[in-house]
Amino acid sequence: MYAALSLSLVARRGRSLSFEYLWYHVVHFTPLFALWLVIFYILGFYRLDHTSNTYNYVKLFSAGFLASGFVSVCYFYINPVAYIAPKLLLVLLFIIYGTLLWGWRYLYEKRWVQNQKYRVGVGFIGITKEVEQIVRELNQHTLLGYDARFFFDPNSDERGEGGCGSTEIALHDDGEVVAVADGGAGEDCPSENGEGKIRRIGDVSAIRSIIQETNVDLIVIAAGQRSLSPELIRELYGLLDIKVRFMHLPDFYEMIFRRVPINAINESWFLEHVDMRAVMPYETIKAIFDRILAALLLLISLPFFPIIALGIKLESKGPVFFKQKRVGRNGRPFTMIKFRTMREEGNDFAPTEEGDGRITKFGSFLRSTRIDEIPQALNILRGEMSFIGPRPERPEIAQRLAEAIPYYQQRHLLKPGVTGWDQVCGEYHSPSIADTKKKLQYDLYYLKNISFSLDVSIFCRTILTMIRRKGR
C-alpha cells in the first residue's frame, strides 16, 4: 500500500518527492489503509482457499476495491484536516495498488507456494479418519503450503492394502499411493489426487530413509500413545539430528481446519489446553464491553422496534418476541429472547432445519440479517449471554446431545453468544448428532483459543454473513 502511494505521488507530480510531502500523505493515508485491510479481511480476501484463478477471487477483488474506494472518498470528504484533493491520486493509487497486489498474489501462488523447495513435507505416523480429512484438505488447498509425503502404518507391510478404516489406499508397483481412494467411507474420505504421490511404509527401520528421500520437514503423530511401540519411539527420538519437527495430530488438525478433532482427543487434552483462570481477566473486560455495546445497540435500534413488530404482526399471528429456555454458562438455564420469525399455527417448536417452512418471509429476512438477535441484548445486559460465544441450546436437546457426544458439556464453560466461531465458518448445522459433533469441534476451538484477536475475527466474519444474508 505504501509503495503504491509513493509511486502514485511520483506519477502525479512527475518528479521526485520531498520527505515532508511524502510524510504528509503517509499520515493521512495510514488510517485509510487500516480500513482497507479491515474491508479485505471481512470479505475473506486473505483466505487461502481463494486463489487468483477463480471467479470467486476476482469477485472478492472487485468488491474489495469498490468498497475501499467508497470509504476513501467518504474519508476525505468528512475529514476537514486533510487538505488533499485526491481525485486523480486515488485513481492512480487503486490502479497501481491493484497491479502490485495482483502481481504479488500471482508470484506467491504460482512461483513460490507451488515450488517444492518452499513447501513443507509432512509424514504421518498412523492412519486415522482425521488423517484422511487432512490429506484431502491439503490436496484441495495447495496454498496452505503442506504436502503429505508418507504414511507409516505399523499394522501392515509396505505393499499391503487398506489402512484407513473403511478406506483403501491404492498402491503402485513402486510402493507409492495417490492420496487416499474412497473405499466407502463417505464424504469424510479424501478423493484421489493424481498430482501428489504419498509413500506408505510399515517398517520402522525405513522411516529415516523415507524422510530423507521425500524431504519431510514435519512428522505428525496420529497414532495413540499406546500404539507407539518402544522401537518406534526410539526411531523417532533418533530423528532429532536431522532437524525434523514433531506435532501431535490434534494440533496439526486444528491448525489446518480451525476446529478440534473430538475423536483424537481425551480428558488430558483439556487439562493441557484449557485454562479458565488464565482467561478470567479477558472475560472480565469482555463482559464490561458487552454490556456497554448492548446498551448502545438497544438505544440505536429501539426506534425501529415498532416497524419490526408491525412486519411480524402483519404476516402471522402471535407475539412479537419469542422466548425460550436455553442452557447458559455452567449448565444454568435462562430465558433467551428474540424477535419471532416463525408461524405460531401448527408449530411444534421442533429445532429449525434448513429451508424450514415454518419461517415467514419477513422472518427469513430478520434471520439472514441477524436482526432477530437484537433483543438478546437484554440477555447480555443481565449477564446471561455475551456477543460472542457458543450458541446456547435448549435444555432437553443439550441433555440428549451430552449423552451421545463426548465432551459436549465442556462447551458450557463459557457464556453462550449471539454469534460464534461455528456460526461464521460457513456451514449450516442441524441439531442432528453428526452436525452437532462438528459444531462442537468449532466450539472447543474457541474454548481453547479465546482471545481478543479471535473475537475480532468472528465479529468481522459476522458482518460479512449479514451483508451476504446467509442466515441460519
pLDDT truncated to tens, each residue of the chain (472 aa)?
999 999 999 998 877 788 888 888 898 899 999 999 989 888 888 877 666 566 777 888 888 899 998 988 888 877 766 566 677 888 899 999 999 988 888 888 777 877 777 889 999 999 899 999 999 999 888 888 899 999 998 775 544 433 443 334 443 434 444 444 433 333 333 433 334 578 898 889 899 999 999 999 999 998 776 778 889 999 999 998 888 999 999 999 999 999 999 988 989 999 999 999 999 999 999 999 999 999 999 999 999 999 999 999 998 888 999 999 999 999 999 999 999 998 887 777 777 767 777 888 998 899 888 899 999 999 999 999 999 999 999 999 999 999 999 999 999 999 999 999 998 886 666 667 888 888 999 999 999 999 999 999 999 888 877 777 654 5
CATH 3.40.50 segments of the chain: 119-257
Question: What is the amino acid identity at position 296?
Answer: L
Query: What distance in Å separates the CA atoms of residue 340 and residue 347, rounded to the nearest whole number?
Result: 12
Torsion angles phi and psi, residue 17, rounded to 5: -110, 145
d(CA 82, CA 77): 9
Class of domain 119-257: alpha beta
Find where cell 419461517 sits.
359
360: Cα separation from own chain's centroid: 30
**Side chain identity at residue 269, one-letter code:** W
Lateral strand order in the sheet of 218-221: 176-178, 197-201, 146-152, 120-125, 218-221, 245-248
What pTM was estimated for this model as a whole?
A: 0.81
* DSSP per-residue letters across 241-300: GGT-EEEEHHHHHHHHHSS--GGG--HHHHHHH--TTTTHHHHHHHHHHHHHHHHHHHHH
